[in-house]
Amino acid sequence: MRVYVTDHDGKEHELEAMEGWRVMEVIRDWGLPIKAECGGACACATCHVFVDPEWQDKLYPATDEEEDMLDTVPDVEDNSRLSCQILMSDELDGLKVSLAPSAKPEAEVA
């Protein structure tokens, strides 16, 4: 299964994913820039992504915990999600997200 990730420069990357993996892990393990400093514990909001509107309704809604963490994202939008809280499954094969500026690792900020 695949995830399509648009990076900070607007370039789309097609990434191979496995069932049960967190989208954050897929992004990180393929080497795209994402801070993800808490490692997937829904505790830092630095794996923030924007979900393509066509895919928004196919995701499980954000939990209260995720909504609370999204409050600490300074560039939040209606389609904002934490990518560590999206688990890959057959239904999400082809998911499209783009990396949020607030989740850019420091080295990339320059």
Partner 1 sequence: MSEREIVTDAVIVGAGPVGLFAVFELGLLDIKCHLIDILDKPGGQCAELYPEKPIYDIPAFPEISGQELTDNLLKQAEPFGPTYHYNQMVTEIEKQEDGSFVVKTDDNITFKCKVVVIAAGGGSFQPKRPPVEGIEEYENKSVFYAVRRMEEFRDHDIVIVGGGDSALDWTLNLAPLAKSLTLVHRRDSFRAHTDSVNKMRALVEEGKINFQLGQIGSLEGENGQLSAINIKSKEGETSLPASRLLPFFGLTMKLGPVADWGLNLHENLINVDTEKFATSEDGIFAIGDINYYPGKLKLILSGFHEAALMAQAAKKIIHPDAKVVFQYTTSSTSLQKKLGVK
Footprint of partner 1 (CB under 8 A): 35, 37-39, 41, 43-46, 67-68, 70-76, 78, 101-102, 106-107
Where in the chain does DSSP place strands (E)? 2-6, 12-16, 48-51, 80-82, 95-99
Question: Nearest approach, Cβ of 37 to partner 1 (angstroms)?
Answer: 5
Nearer to partner 1, 3 or 34 (CB): 34
Instruction: Give the tokens for residue 21.
Output: 């993996």
Question: Nearest approach, Cβ of 65 to partner 1 (angstroms)?
Answer: 10
Secondary element (H or E) of residue 109: helix 106-109
Question: Nearest approach, Cβ of 21 to partner 1 (angstroms)?
Answer: 18
Nearer to partner 1, 14 or 109 (CB): 109
Nearer to partner 1, 12 or 39 (CB): 39
CA dihedral sign, ordered 98, 102, 104, 110: positive
| DSSP string covering 5-34 | EE-TTS-EEEEE--TT-BHHHHHHHTT---
Nearer to partner 1, 33 or 94 (CB): 33
Question: Nearest approach, Cβ of 2 to partner 1 (angstroms)?
Answer: 27
